[in-house]
Amino acid sequence: MKQFDIPSIFRSPIISKVKAFRKSQDPRKKDFSPTMLDFGNVQLYIARHFGFCYGVENAIEIAYRAVEENKGKRIFLLSQMIHNPTVNEDLSRHGIEFIQDTSGKQLISWEELNSNDVVIIPAFGTTLEIEQVLNDRGVSTEKYNTTCPFVEKVWNRAEKLGTENHTLVIHGKYNHEETRATFSHTAVNSEAVIIKNMEEAAFLAKCITGEVSKEAFYTYFKGKHTPNFDPEIHLSKIGVINQTTMLASETQEIAEYLKKVTEEYTERSKISKTFADTRDTLCYATNDNQSAVEALMNESLDFAVVVGGYNSSNTAHLVELLEQRFPTYFIKDETEILNTEAIRSFNIHTHEVETIENWMKGGKIGITSGASCPDSIIDTVISKLLVLSGSESPIEEVISRLG
């Protein structure tokens, strides 16, 4: 796989050695069990896969190259490069300005842009409507378009299905940048509707079988379907694609459920409805990180720490998995670890940072991070955990035992 040139501040002396060791032992990535680092009174169980993925490293390399190649020019990002505060803050320090926030709210007016400006497309991609606005302003985006190749793979699959008259069901969060972009690209060739979870899939299933009215569909999915969507017509031939950072298992569950509903309805009613196999749109990094967390859940941990941006969808899904088995703390970096008695942890259900008391119980600790989290942050988190726990062995000595 390609090696990317990213700033050294995002690299790490600890995690890089752990990852290199695991890669040498398991080059085909068949073993998803965690790496255990034994510090005597503390054992760290580090997930097999986590941190920067191909798409993220590609985006970061392009963004910093844009800075180097355009000294003296104004440089903008459409929105956050990736959902990690450390990365976005460093880009800001390098003079990059953000045109929108993550929800699409305008921070800088389009009218302020001109053909001399540099605009970077983030890893999530962007909508065709925004691309047109930039083109109308004379702003070229081809050179610094960092859209993840795996997001583009979803768009390509959607285009092929659209030309075959399939309607696309997009599993994603409606206000997420990637889902907005995927919806825009999909709508060119087909009708589309966005669903967030199995609950919404179950309602859509009733629309497929005619158990609920067309009007009920429009009310339930208001603002989440293409303008000309007619559930009585456009749910006869469907396929499922996803926001690549959703739970892969949930996307598969939704696809299998809607396929079953479609086939059973066809058999029962003799009204032809078909379903396309779209499993090949799932992101490899999302799959690997989630599979590694599932393997981590097989261990007898006292608690788990997940590191990443609080608006990171893929990171939140790792927390969602782990908290089913252990007390799980979601932190953006080591500063959230206050001391052995208190930690600030983001609650994925209330979307608030909570201070949790008496949290550091036991010495078996699971650690992972989202795909947009630099390994250097994991290093600082590990170092702080070891200091607070009074580890009995130096980290250099434990790392050297890996081989």
Active site residue 57: no
CA distance 325 to 75: 45
Residue 175 DSSP one-character state: T
Give 197's contacts (C-beta < 8 A, 6+ positions apart).
Answer: 250, 254
CA distance 194 to 126: 17
Q: Which of 57, 178, 191, 250 is catalytic?
A: 178
* Count of CA atoms in the C-beta half-sphere (13 A) of 1: 9
Structure tokens at 1: 């796989």
DSSP class per residue in 234-286 = HTSEEEEEE-TTS-HHHHHHHHHHHHHHHHHHHHHH----EEE--GGGS-HHH
Q: How many CB atoms lie within 10 A of CB 70?
A: 16
Helices and strands (DSSP H and E) totals, the chain = 14, 14
Q: Identify any residues that bridge with 169 across adjacent strands, giving them in sequence order.
A: 193, 240
**Which positions are annotated as active-site residues?**
178
